[in-house]
Amino acid sequence: MSALWHISLLGSLRVQCGEQSITRFKSQKIGALLAYLAYHLRQAHPREALIDLFWPESSLEAGRASLSTALSSLRHQLEPPGTPAGLVLRADRYSVSLNPAAVTTDVSKFEAALKAAERAEVPTDRTQLLAQAADLYRERLLPGYYEDWITAEQERLAGLYFDAVAALRCAGRPPPIMDRRL
C-alpha cells in the first residue's frame, strides 16, 4: 500500500490526502497527539504513557476517557466512512500508533535525505541530497505547540538543518532562502 496521508510537522501541523487537507483539530491537544504519533511513526505507544504525556493532571480514568475521545476525533478525520477501521490509526486496549504504511511525514523525509547524503559517495549527489533536506525544512517543528517533547526535537532538527546549510555553503551551493526557518 502506498502512503495515503502526508503529515507536515515542520511549520504548522497539516495533514493531506490527495486534495483533502486538514489543518484544524477539535483541540490543540488532539493535534499534539497526532503530531506525537506521526513524529514517532514506527512505534506503538502504550496508552498509559500517552495519558501521562498529554493528561498528566488527570486521574487514570479521566485520562483514559480523554485519550478515547481524542482517538475517536482523529479516527473521524483520518478514516472517514468507507475507510477500513485501523487503516491509518491503530489502537487496541494497550497501545496506539499510526500505520507507517499509510502515513508519511516531512520530518522522516528530511532525516532520510540527510542520511542518504551521509552515505553518498559522489559529491554532487551529496550536495543534491543536502539541498533536498534543506528545502524540506520550511520552518521549525510545530511552532505554537508547547508540549515538552517538542522543544528538544525543535533544537535537534534545527541543528541538523543548520549543519546541512553549512555543508551546502562549503560545497559552494547557495543555501535556501532562510525566512521563517527558526
pLDDT in tens, 154-176: 999 999 999 999 999 988 776 56
Give residue 120's pLDDT.
Answer: 95
Return the pLDDT at 81.
85
* Rounded-to-integer distance, Cα 129 and Cα 112, Å: 9
Residue 142's pLDDT is 97
- 90 phi and psi angles, rounded to 5 deg: -105, 125
134 within a domain of the structure (yes/no) = yes
Residue 177 located in a structural domain: no
- Domains in the chain: how many in total? 2
Reported as a single tens digit per residue, the pLDDT across 110-149 is 999 999 999 999 999 999 999 999 999 989 999 999 998 9
What range defines the domain where residue 127 resides? 105-170
CATH number of the CATH domain containing 96: 1.10.10.10
**Co-location of 95 and 117 in the same domain:** no
Q: Do 98 and 110 belong together in one domain?
A: no
Q: Are strands 5-8 and 14-17 parallel, antiparallel or unpaired?
A: antiparallel
Query: Are 109 and 99 part of one and the same domain?
Result: no
For position 177, what pLDDT does the model report?
A: 56
Domain-embedded: residue 179: no
Decide: 96 and 44 in contact? Cβ < 8 Å. yes
- Supply the pTM of this predicted model: 0.90
pLDDT in tens, 85-99: 889 999 999 999 999
